[in-house]
């Protein structure tokens, strides 16, 4: 009778169990946040030459393990090779920030804040501002400055609304109690940007944008009794205030070269519309109408990434801004929702996909060949 090696048998079983456990851990880590880079044929400034046959991606039938009890809310670029995204857990307050490396796909927890619902990354990725949206007063102090290097939080102000960073990262704009301030990181102090003679004409300020050169501060104001939205600009040197135009209802806007405003607004039948407004000749050009619209202009201010959706299907298109004919070039389509599009400084495009056909969330990046 053959003698069985009991010790050797148990070693084999133990090794098998360890292999299974390792496989499960790797699988879970790989698919907890799914990430994909897609190389397109041409750079965004030659978007008319994109070959839709090779760049249009269908991911409808992918099998992805869903994130449990958390939602990826927002994306931003920490650097050209690293993304930062927020997680909103269903049973906890606040948000958690994680980083995703483009080079090795490594995910690391960056920080968290229990009193905030949103964040804004500094231009050079060294600081984060945590803040609440303008409809939420969850905390007496609702804006914090977080230093990534020192891992410290500094409470800034209360009852604050939308903010935007200065291009050099030296400070940021925010509003509090219908006043507009700039906070300086060097001086650790705030400064009012609204002169006494301008204060009375402003009401319900929100959606602040700083021009690429830092010379102009743009923002929206809402009429208390109507849906009229006005676009204002403040000169950063003399703090002079100018009203640019008024529209029925503006959702969001981007500034291009201090001479053009791209904005989304309410349209007929409950739709949204995208417009181009030139400041010099005061001409308004409609671009597209859809059920839902989201958009972002890249850092070079040469290309616009446009998301349109009808509650079933969502698309991403690229529009070259510096051409007379604003032609849409579709690059992506999904039966689901596309959220939080973001451009890196070297024109990588990132966005979040939520599927209608299965419970998964995917972070996608588009890298354009030079």
What is the DSSP pairing of strand 250-256 with strand 241-247?
unpaired
pLDDT of residue 73: 83
Residue 111 phi, psi (nearest 5):
-170, 180
pLDDT of residue 370: 47
pTM of the shown model: 0.79
For residue 52, the surrounding DSSP H or E stretch is: helix 52-55
CA dihedral over 302, 289, 341, 259, signed as positive or negative: positive
Residue 169 phi, psi (nearest 5):
75, 10
SS3 (DSSP) at 339: strand
- Show Cβ contacts of residue 69 under 8 Å, excluding neighbours closer than 6 positions: 89, 90, 91
How far apart CA 10 and CA 5 sit, in angstroms, is: 9
How far apart CA 71 and CA 340 sit, in angstroms, is: 12
CA dihedral over 127, 107, 66, 113, signed as positive or negative: negative
For residue 206, the surrounding DSSP H or E stretch is: strand 205-210
DSSP 214: S
Structure token digits, residue 297: 């202009």
Tens of pLDDT along the chain (370 residues) come to: 444 455 565 565 566 655 554 444 333 333 344 555 555 543 333 333 333 333 333 333 233 334 556 778 889 999 998 999 888 776 667 788 988 888 777 788 898 887 777 899 999 999 999 886 544 444 455 788 999 999 998 888 876 666 789 999 999 988 877 778 899 999 999 988 876 656 556 667 888 899 999 999 999 888 766 678 999 999 999 888 899 999 988 999 999 999 999 999 998 788 999 999 999 999 999 999 999 999 999 998 888 999 999 878 888 888 888 766 778 888 888 878 888 899 999 888 888 887 766 666 778 888 765 4
Q: Cα-atom radius of gyration of the chain, to the nearest Å?
A: 24
pLDDT of residue 358: 60
With CA atoms as reference, report the closest residue to 164 among 176, 148, 182, 140.
182
With CA atoms as reference, report the closest residue to 259 among 291, 281, 286.
281
How far apart CA 321 and CA 276 sit, in angstroms, is: 10
């Amino acid at each position: 009778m053959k003698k069985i090696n009991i010790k050797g048998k148990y070693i084999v079983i133990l090794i098998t169990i360890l292999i299974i456990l390792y496989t499960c851990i790797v699988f879970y880590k790989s698919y907890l946040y799914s990430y994909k880079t897609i190389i397109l044929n041409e750079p965004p400034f030659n978007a008319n030459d994109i070959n839709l046959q090779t760049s249009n991606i269908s991911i409808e039938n992918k099998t992805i393990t869903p994130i449990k009890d958390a939602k990826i809310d927002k994306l931003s670029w920490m650097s050209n090779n690293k993304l930062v995204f927020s997680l909103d857990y269903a049973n906890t307050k606040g948000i958690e920030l994680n980083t995703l490396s483009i080079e090795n796909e490594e995910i690391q927890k960056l920080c968290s804040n229990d009193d905030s619902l949103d964040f804004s990354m500094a231009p050079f990725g060294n600081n984060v501002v945590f803040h609440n949206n303008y409809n939420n007063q969850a905390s007496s102090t609702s804006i914090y400055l977080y230093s990534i290097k020192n891992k410290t939080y500094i409470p800034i102000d209360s009852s604050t609304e939308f903010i935007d960073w200065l291009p050099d990262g030296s400070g940021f704009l925010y509003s509090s109690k219908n006043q507009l301030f700039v906070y300086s990181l060097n001086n650790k102090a705030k400064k009012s940007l609204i002169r006494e003679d301008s204060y009375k004409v402003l009401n319900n300020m929100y959606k602040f944008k700083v021009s690429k050169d830092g010379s102009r501060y743009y923002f929206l104001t809402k009429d208390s009794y109507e849906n009229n939205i006005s676009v204002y600009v403040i000169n950063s040197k003399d703090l002079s205030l100018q009203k640019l135009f008024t529209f029925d209802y503006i959702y969001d806007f981007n500034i291009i070269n201090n001479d053009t405003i791209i904005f989304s607004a309410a349209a007929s039948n409950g739709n949204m519309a995208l417009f181009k407004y030139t400041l010099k000749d005061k001409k308004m050009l409609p671009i597209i109408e859809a059920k839902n619209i989201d958009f972002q202009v890249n850092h070079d201010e040469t290309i616009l990434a446009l998301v349109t959706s009808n509650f079933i299907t969502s698309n991403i298109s690229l529009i070259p801004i510096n051409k007379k004919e604003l032609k849409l070039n579709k690059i992506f389509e999904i039966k689901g929702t596309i959220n939080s599009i973001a451009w890196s400084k070297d024109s990588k495009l990132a966005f979040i996909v939520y599927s209608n056909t299965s419970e998964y969330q995917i972070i996608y990046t588009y890298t354009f060949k030079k």
